[in-house]
Amino acid sequence: MASAASTVVEDVGTVEGVLNLKLISVLTAIVTGPVNKVLLDPPFNAENIFLDNEKTLVPVATTDTEYIEFVINYGGSIKNTKSVFNRVGTATVSVFTPLGKGSKRSGDIFAVIRKTMQGIRYVADVMEITTVDYDKGGKVGGMYMSNIDINFSYFE
């Protein structure tokens, strides 16, 4: 089973491929260790981070081990007067924690991601994180699932 830390996005020749790599590396760094003096305590285990885009097999949802799935989706676009497309997308971080542990862990992850990413520009100012939203979610199988949506725009 491949983790986000060891998975290579194959289509790096496209803008989306470059953005995927950047988002995955930034999000993995945020939840696994100190970034910009923001620390998730305790840090997340990088082996428990998976990419839904890569159709990676994730742990069975009855496990007692927390894990994260990243999904990156691209939406519509608007062409400006200079024939440059302004496109949008959402990176969703689904946090799975064992039942009985509550939503505190996913709330902590949301707070760290929002503080670290919201309003930041990446990839030579091509991509900007516009908003970071949190959905507390609920029970999925034997786990508690919540979603963190990281909305971004980029130029192509």
Structural domains for the chain: 15-155 (3.30.2000)
The span from the CA of 140 to the CA of 97, in Å, is 10
The pTM of this model reads: 0.78
- pLDDT on residue 132: 92
pLDDT digits (tens, 9 = 90+) for 137-155: 888 877 888 999 999 988 8
Provide mean pLDDT across the span 105-110: 86
| Mean pLDDT rounded to a whole number for the chain | 77
Q: What is the pLDDT of residue 11?
A: 47
pLDDT at residue number 47: 79
> CA of 136: how far to CAs of 23, 84, 85, 116, in Å?
22, 36, 33, 20
Q: How many CB atoms lie within 10 A of CB 7?
A: 16
Q: Which residue has the higher pLDDT, 97 or 122?
A: 97
